[in-house]
Structure 1
Amino acid sequence: MDVRDVIFKDIIDKEFNAVITPERDGILSGIAQAEEQIKEIGIKIKWHKNEGNQVKKGEPIAVVTADPKGIATAEEKIIGALAKYSGIATATKGAVDSSQGKVRIVAGSWKKMPPEIKTGVRDAVVAGGASFRISTNKMIYIDKNYIRMLGSIPKVLDTVKELTDFTKVIQIKGEQFSIEEETKQALENGCNLLMVDTGNLEDLERCLSVVNELGVRNQVEVAFAGNVKISDMDTYINAGIDVLCIGKEIVDAPLLDMKIDVKYKYCLELMRWD
């Protein structure tokens, strides 16, 4: 038994309007996922904001029209979709703004999310103004496990040497060789983008020193990842990188809290004595 059927039995044939508002300023995301829930519940909604729009505390995002059980269900399902993804979009926008356009912000950790929310996380990152891919071109990302299985960076890059229209990304970890040697091997064998994925700024400096020594700084991009903090953005900018990959601080961002409120005046009208 659904207890709501008992609670609402005397007004189940009534329609109510309820307003969805955010509890703080942020960026709206999750509309596509909310629409899926709306169809499932069978209610009506009028959006006042679009995906990626700035929203302000207390200002309407949408108005829901439904019977009492529909309103109660909407509070559970629609708010859940919007709050999580809007939180991610808001954190992303904060990172993008902090970068001052000097570093391209990427949030690649969506790949570690459960399959059912991956699309929503990617959409939220885009809504916040960043990318969920390290390269805007067709890309081959060669991580540590590819390198371990094939034996070395040169061997992996040799397998894709014919794919000249792809950006070839090598994850630099300093595992097989030093950071300097892995960087040199990658550059000498056709790498286009170096991902220093250690979270250690000293490793980044060592990688960049090799890039500069070889005189290829204008021919290759350098990215950095690993325990990145948005509050340290100035440090990353001053390091001279092209791409900054932010993980937990985006995908694990706090919810953009929202609430759904039935219009009180409308309720009073229903309660008037005949």
Structure 2
Amino acid sequence: MSKINTATAFSQTLFSSVAGECRAVVEATEAGVIAGLDFIQPEKLLSSDSGQEAHAGHWNIKVQDGQWVEAGEPLIEVIGSATELGITEDYIMGPLGFASGIATRAKVFQDACPEGLTISCGGWKKLPSPLKPLLRAGLVSVGILPRLVDGDFVYLSKNAVLLLGGVGEAIAAGVAMQHGPVAVQVKNVAEAEFAVEAGAGVIMVDTGALEDLAAVHERLSSLGCRDEVTLAFGGGARLEDLQVIRDLGGQAVDVGRDILNAPLFDLRMRVIPE
């Protein structure tokens, strides 16, 4: 017996004596940004153990992705039987809480972002597959990029460079794909200079050391090629680093754990007494 069927059957038995229609509201218990509404499906039907369809009730969604809400604000009204309300709670809180937590934390970064700098959060690779779409929904709702730069490009990680035989070979392979500029991770000035000469369009200083970013910017500027490439930075970037990164020549920054570690957005589902 599946967990879904078990939960449905349990709810049906537990609430079998409750007649009529019930109403509940899902509320925010704190202020923040809502995201992930596409991942809650009021029309979804659940199969019960008896083979009959168990509805999740009727949902009236009162907010939109990207909307700022205050503590106590109703987000979703749920109308249905007691069994349906019991089932529904399991399908709203998780997706909405995770995506909205990401969105709320990401908005702090977006609001602090100086002009001329874009923020991405590429650490989705480190999350379990089921959470990746919810992370993306949270980021997009506030304008944070899910990838290093907007539009088509070819990203070459350190491992990709090693697998392809070196920086030059990797960039050549990326250029041959004809899928936009090639972005490559570098550790120092020499690697950055070589990458630009090899045809890279995005230089990613991925050391987490601001002095490395400054040195690469200075060297590329002295070579007169600074306008030809986008300079990005990553590796433990923090909120307080954003202005410094821009001042040192950074045009894009990848933020990882400071967004990925966002707490769940706190929600509650409250039954409204008749």
- TM-score w.r.t. the length of structure 2 is 0.88
Q: Which residue number in structure 2 is paired with residue 210 of structure 1?
A: 219
Which of 54, 61, 65 does residue 79 from structure 2 map onto? 65
In structure 1, how many angstroms separate the alpha carbons of the residues matched to 2:240 and 2:101?
Answer: 17
- Gap regions ≥5 residues in structure 2: 1-5, 47-54
Which of 20, 40, 46 does residue 34 from structure 1 map onto? 40
User: Letter of the aligned partner of 2:35 in structure 1?
Assistant: S
Compared CA separation, residues 185 and 71, structure 1 to 2 (3 A): same
SS at match of 1:61: strand
1:131 shift after superposition: 0.9
1:239 shift after superposition: 2.2
User: Letter of the aligned partner of 1:28 in structure 2?
Assistant: I
Are 1:75 and 1:259, in contact at CA under 8 Å, matched by a contact in 2?
no
User: Letter of the aligned partner of 1:106 in structure 2?
Assistant: S
In structure 2, how many angstroms separate the alpha carbons of the residues matched to 1:245 and 1:230?
Answer: 11
Once superposed, which parts of structure 1, at least 4 consecutive aligned residues long, lie more than 6 Å away?
A: none
SS at match of 2:150: coil
Compared CA separation, residues 18 and 108, structure 1 to 2 (3 A): same
Deviations 1:9-51 (A, max 9, x none): 210x322111111111111111111127854453210111011
Pick which of 215-224 and 153-162 moved more: 153-162
In structure 2, how many angstroms separate the alpha carbons of the residues matched to 1:35 and 1:228?
Answer: 36
Q: Which residue number in structure 1 is paired with residue 231 of structure 2?
A: 222
Q: Which residue number in structure 2 is paired with residue 190 of structure 1?
A: 199
Residues 1:250 and 2:250 are matched in the alignment: no
Residues 1:151 and 2:193 are matched in the alignment: no
Which of 67, 91, 95 does residue 53 from structure 1 map onto? 67
1:149 shift after superposition: 2.0
Are 1:147 and 1:156, in contact at CA under 8 Å, matched by a contact in 2?
yes
Residues 1:74 and 2:96 are matched in the alignment: no
- Gap regions ≥5 residues in structure 1: 267-274
SS at match of 1:183: helix
Are 2:175 and 2:182, in contact at CA under 8 Å, matched by a contact in 1?
no
User: Letter of the aligned partner of 2:34 in structure 1?
Assistant: L
In structure 2, how many angstroms separate the alpha carbons of the residues matched to 1:119 and 1:251?
Answer: 13
Percent identical across equivalent pairs? 27
CA-atom RMSD in angstroms: 1.9
Pick which of 151-160 and 50-59 moved more: 151-160
- TM-score w.r.t. the length of structure 1 is 0.88
Residues 1:8 and 2:15 are matched in the alignment: yes
